[in-house]
Amino acid sequence: MKIQVYGTNCVPCKVMLANTQEAAKLLGLEGSVQHMTRIQDMLAAGISGTPALAIDGEIKVMGKALDVPAIVALLQTGSV
């Protein structure tokens, strides 16, 4: 599973990254979270608001940080 968190160093982006890493750890997916900070990568992926979360190349969340339980549900089922 390819998990990408798009965002800069704003507080919501940091929260989304930390929560996604924790959710991945809970599911045994440690090391699978990529932090995408380059504007060029965000534009290429179609990201128009940060933070954003993509799973296997599909944008699942954009413009808000989710809590750990919501990210766990998203990783397990594909929807929040």
**What tens digit of pLDDT does each residue of 8-32 get?**
889 999 999 999 999 999 999 877 8
Second-level CATH architecture of 3-77:
3-Layer(aba) Sandwich (3.40)
pLDDT score recorded for residue 37: 95
Across all residues in the chain, what is the average pLDDT?
Answer: 93
Q: What are phi and psi of 78, to 5 degrees?
A: 90, 0
- Cite the active site residues: 10, 13
Of all residues in the chain, the percent with pLDDT exceeding 70 is 98
Tell the residue number behind the tokens 């993509």, with chain if given. Answer: 54
Instruction: Give per-residue pLDDT as tens, 34-47.
Output: 999 999 999 999 99
